[in-house]
Amino acid sequence: MPRTKYLDRLLARIASRKAVVGVVGLGYVGLPLVRAMHEAGFHVVGYDIDAAKIRKLKTGTPYLKHLGRGLVRDLSRSARFMATNTPRDLGRCDAVAICVPTPLGAHDEPDLSYVVRSTEMLAGVIRPGALVCLESTTYPGTTREVVKPILERAGRVCGRDVFIAFSPEREDPGRPGVETRTIPRVVGGLDTPSTMAAATLYGAAVDKVVPVASAEVAESAKLLENIYRAVNIALVNELKPVLADMGIDLWEVIGAASTKPFGFQPFYPGPGLGGHCIPIDPYYLTYKAREYGHVTRFIELAGLVNRRMPAYVVSRLTGALNDERKALRGSRVLVLGVAYKPNVDDVRETPAAEIIRLLRARGAEVSYHDPHVPVFPMMRRHAVGLKSVRLTPATLRTADAAVIVTDHADVDYALIGRYARLIVDTRNVMASVRRPRARIVKA
């Protein structure tokens, strides 16, 4: 496909940093992208339907702790950044990235409503020659089959006067030393001009760009990354109860296997999967596979194993209490850590929510402590309705059991080992505590 005047204009504006970059969705994916594009020298328009986020961005009030206080403060003071919930403000953009959620429906089917609504909004405001790049994880074909038709309804032609690509986000909130700029960026367009436009844009803001043959390749690569993790976590989660019944410490087994310098990568068991990616993304591929007559048994089995982990944790707790002639019903259980991963305040799809639900359903009195989550927010499938309690000797003494779900670094595990009666440890964190007085059960 030959180059067009719109493509030449777009590439020139990117090279000169005159391009205006829009980001739709200012959460865990969109806000780090805003930072990367802003640091690259672009004018950036950040759009979100959440008026509270827009107010915070305008006043310099941080709302994602792991990004630090300085980011939102600096953006609020910058003449090159605009926070808005007005769609027409995106009309001045030369390129727009869509960074919105792609959750699952009630029956594990893809929910693309956020993507559709965002694309429909852009179709009504973007200028001729703009680049639209989807970053939200989804099944292969979404960019071509869902995004493209919406953008072309207004008479635009992909590759001529609108450029459409997919570039999957690879954020890992809370991982030290890693940020959007340093993570290689996979880019696949619906045609050669679109790939060129997207690769040029991201190449101006990140250290390495990896162009691929199509949007479908990029969509599939993102799914493979997360399915790989989900399947391997399921493997060790499946081994956990087997080896526990044999009296074998799985964490020691993993440590021993990790001494092999080739052919093995350690994955660690846990209380279940959390975050927006690993518990959700594999089901996008299983859904699309059925359209082509395939059943992804391996992926679905991994999902089944991982989803059973909260129930396994509760069963281990129940057994440990039974050993002490106590019933779970009426017991006081302190859950330690409710974020889905250490050292962040993110509770998306956290297994802690399901563990708390199961404990309550069996009659336990539940409280939690998490220094990063002072109030448990409302979730799509859970309404926990709790606030974090202080971690004190009295709090630990009055609990019949403490369940470690998330191993935050800034929690005093020596204190827990000294004053708790019974600890159910899903993260092996108590292995580093010297001579704890509590009884410890791994789960």
Catalytic residue list: 277
Which residue is listed with tokens 């956990």? 240
In the chain, the amino acid numbered 420 is A
End-to-end CA distance of the chain: 57
DSSP state of 104: B
CB-CB contact of 360 with 366 (8 Å): yes
DSSP state of 80: T
Sheet bearing 185-189, strands edge to edge: 81-84, 43-47, 20-24, 95-98, 130-134, 162-166, 185-189, 209-211
Instruction: Report the alpha-carbon distance of residue 214 to residue 191 in Å, rounded.
Output: 7
CB-CB contact of 83 with 59 (8 Å): no
Structure tokens at 417: 């080992």
In the chain, the amino acid numbered 19 is A
Instruction: Report the alpha-carbon distance of residue 93 to residue 238 in Å, rounded.
Output: 49
Alpha-carbon torsion (325, 329, 334, 339), positive or negative: positive
Residue 190: closest CA among 160, 218, 215, 227: 215
DSSP state of 407: -
Question: How many beta carbons lie within 10 A of that of residue 77, not counting itself?
Answer: 9
Alpha-carbon torsion (256, 261, 262, 265), positive or negative: positive
Residue 399: closest CA among 371, 364, 431, 372: 364
Instruction: Reduce the DSSP state of residue 294 to 3 states and report it.
Output: coil
CB-CB contact of 397 with 376 (8 Å): no
In degrees, rounded to 5, the angle at the alpha carbon of residue 18 between the alpha carbons of residues 85 and 211 is 85
CB-CB contact of 5 with 21 (8 Å): no
The strand pairing partners of 403, in sequence order, are 335, 424
Instruction: Report the alpha-carbon distance of residue 65 to residue 371 in Å, rounded.
Output: 12
Residue 300: closest CA among 214, 236, 230, 202: 230
Instruction: Report the alpha-carbon distance of residue 100 to residue 115 in Å, rounded.
Output: 7
